Structure 1
Amino acid sequence: MNLTQHYDQLYKTSSEIISTGKYSIDSELKNESDSRFGITLLIRPNDEIKANIHSFLNELRKAEPEQYFYPDSDIHITVMSIISCSSDFTLNQISAKEYIEVICRSLVDVEKIQIHFKGITASPSALMIQGFPSDETLNNLRNRLRENFKNSGLQQSIDSRYSISTAHSTVMRFQEKLHDPKKLIEIAEKFRDYDFGEFEVKNLELVYNDWYQRKSTTRVLGDFGLR
């Protein structure tokens, strides 16, 4: 997949939807009884990247203070959704140790992963930072995870919603009606090609998480350092 083309098309389609007021509001964000949980392998950007993201979020907050903004603790890139969030899943259904073993096997000989956060894109209900891996290492790891979990016999739902191939990070979701959709897109345009920085991934986390990766409900099951 050409990530630049993918992000560009997503932005073009979604910015038009938002500008014309046809965007989607995520009604589950304020649902305190939301019981959708799953298992995710993820990457967290470093503090320098998060600080750069703040400048974008601060401008968005001034224009749309009632929307949902990801705190530093929750910003992430999904490497693989191993068990998709569902109200039918609870942690006691699995042995975390077995999942950790499959991930450890998949990480053997993985070279360093470098990700460049540059520019922003959108969906009809959210704004995201565009992530660009420097090479095929992340995709190769994902393919190895797919193969190893498929052969493991463990409960998993990899690629059941869609086959993950991007490295974006969602930072804002719409939880209320927008005050000024066109103003929001003006701010987005300003950061469309903004360089948020590049970082080397030092570790991956396996987490039990809710739909929005909120720290308050997330449980870290494993931490995997990279060479």
Structure 2
Amino acid sequence: MNLTEHYNQLYTTSSKSILTGKYSIDTEIKNESDSRFGITLLIRPSDEIKANIQVLLNELKQVEPEQYYYPDSDIHITVMSIISCSENFNLNHISPNDYIQLICKSLVDVDKVTIQFKGITASSSAIMIQGFPTDETLNNLRNKLREDFKNSQLQQSIDSRYRISTAHATVMRFQEKLLDPEKLIQTAEKYRDYDFGEFNVKSLELVYNDWYQRKSNTKVLGEFCLR
């Protein structure tokens, strides 16, 4: 997949939807009884990257103060959604150590993962930072995880919602009607090619998480250091 083309197409389509009022509001964000949980392998960006992201978010908050903004603690890149969030899943259903052992096996040949965050894109309900892996390492790891889980007896739902191939980080979600869609897109345009920085991934986390990866609802099951 050409990530640049993918992000551009997504932004073009979504910005038109936002400007014409055809965007989506996530009504579950404020639902305190939301019980959708799953298992995710993820990457957390560096502190420097997160500080640069906050520059964008502070500007967006001036335009749309009532929307949902990810705090630093929750910003992430999904490597693989191993068990998609569902009301039917509970951590008691699995043995986390089995998953840790399999992921360790998948990581044996992984050396270094480097990701550049440059520009933003959008969906009909969110604003996202565009992530670009500098080589095929992340893609190769995902394929190895797919293969290893497919050949195991472990519960998983990899690629059941969609086949993950990007390295974006969602940073804002629409939880209320937009006050000024046109001004939101004008602000987004300023950051379409903004360089948020590049970082070497030092570790991956396996987490038990809710739909929004909120720290208060997240349990770290394992951490995997990269060389």
| Coarse TM-score class (shorter-chain normalised) | over 0.9
Q: Which residue of 2 aligns with 1:134?
A: 134
Query: What is the letter of the counterpart of residue 149 of structure 1?
Result: F
CA distance in 2, matches of 1:178, 1:57: 15
Paired AA for residue 163 in structure 2: S
What is the distance in 1 between the residues matched to 2:161 and 2:54? Answer: 30
Using the alignment, how far apart are the partners of 1:79 and 1:42 within structure 2? Answer: 5
Tell me, what secondary structure is at the counterpart of 1:50?
A: helix
Summarize deviations over 1:81-108 as a string: whole Å, max 9, x none.
0000000000000000000000000000
In structure 2, what is the equivalent of residue 35 of structure 1? Answer: 35
Partner in structure 2 of residue 143 of structure 1: 143
For residues 190 and 211 of structure 1, what CA distance do their matches in structure 2 show?
A: 29
Once the 2 structures are TM-superposed, how far is the Cα of residue 111 of structure 1 from its aligned partner? 1.5
Structure 1 gaps of 5+ residues are: none
Cα distance in 2, alignment partners of residues 6 and 135 from structure 1: 17
What's 1:95 paired with?
95
Letter paired with 2:134: S
Counterpart secondary structure, 1:143: helix
Rounded to whole Å, the distance in 1 between the matches of 2:187 and 2:129 is 13
Which residue of 2 is the match for residue 72 of structure 1? 72
Task: Report Cα offsets for 1:157-213 as digits up to 9, x if no partner.
Answer: 000000000000000000000000010000000000000000000000000000000
After superposition, residues 183-194 of structure 1 pair within 5 angstroms as 183-194=183-194
> Offset at 1:21?
1.1
Structure 2 Cα separation of the partners of residues 80 and 91 of structure 1: 17
Q: Secondary structure at the match of 2:42?
A: strand
How far apart in 1 are the matches of 2:58 and 2:145? Answer: 37
Counterpart residue number, 2:85: 85
> 1:25 maps to what in 2?
25
Separation (CA, whole Å) in 2 of partners of 1:120 and 1:96: 34
How far apart are the structure 2 equivalents of 1:190 and 1:46? 23
State the partner residue of 1:63: 63
| d(CA) in 2 for partners of 1:96, 1:143 | 21
The aligned amino acid for 2:94 is I
Q: Within 2, Cα distance between the matches of 1:119 and 1:200?
A: 18
Query: Partner of 2:174 in structure 1?
Result: 174
User: How many residues end up aligned between the 2 structures?
Assistant: 227
Displacement, 1:114?
0.2
The TM-score normalised by the length of structure 1 is 1.00
Amino acid at match of 2:65: P
Say whether 1:215 aligns with 2:215.
yes
**SS of 1:152 mapped into structure 2:** coil
CA deviation after TM superposition for structure 1 residue 109, in Å: 1.6
Query: Which residue matches 2:5?
Result: 5
Are residue 156 (structure 1) and residue 148 (structure 2) matched? Answer: no
* Deviation at residue 77 of structure 1 after TM alignment: 0.0
Alpha-carbon distance between aligned partners in 1 of 2:153 and 2:181, rounded to the nearest angstrom: 47
RMSD: 0.3
In structure 2, distance between residues paired with 1:174 and 1:104:
37
How many angstroms does 1:127 deviate by?
Answer: 0.2
Q: Distance in 1 between matches of 2:126 and 2:52?
A: 19
